[in-house]
Amino acid sequence: MLVDSLILPECVYRPGTFTGLMTLYESNYIKLHNLTRAFDWANDAVVSTVRGDSDLHATLVRREPYTTTLKLTYWFREAQGDVVADPDLILRVYHDARLVEAVSGRERHCHHKLRELSVGSGAELDRRWRVNMMLNKWLDYLFDVGHRLDRDAPSAR
């Protein structure tokens, strides 16, 4: 796995700053690129199944010349039988700039660890930091457990 510590920012940044957020978007791109090499799925949806983890669902929302918007989520069955998408992130991939931004996600998560990551103030920069930091950590986890989003990648059951 290509680690984000190999990213050499062209400026000094601090966490919580706009410059740092752009570096986080770059790290998200590298990590998502490790899960999928292209967004040319036949059905505009891919499910990755690995032993010991929930199925990862990726759905293509919109494809444009320089950007791709997709939805990335797990589906959880609650005790009442309802099926809930969580973390249910909408991602925008900027192909020319090689950035990935989590543009939206659930405000109230079902899983306690996701709730811990989402607490904080409501300022826009802070909100973007929270959702993109959660994405960054989740992408690490997805890669570590073996998820792949390429249409020809074998699923392990």
How many other C-beta atoms lie within 10 A of the C-beta of residue 51? 9
Taking the whole predicted model, whether its pTM rises above 0.85 is answered as no
Tokens 């998200």 map to which residue?
28
Give the 3-state secondary structure of residue 102.
strand
Q: List pLDDT tens digits, range 119-132.
A: 554 477 788 888 89
Q: Which H, E and C letters describe 109-152, residue by residue? A: CCCHHHHHHHCCCCCHHHHHHHHHHHHHHHHHHHHHHCCCCCCC
- Residue 19 pLDDT: 83
Judge whether residue 117 has pLDDT over 60.
Answer: no
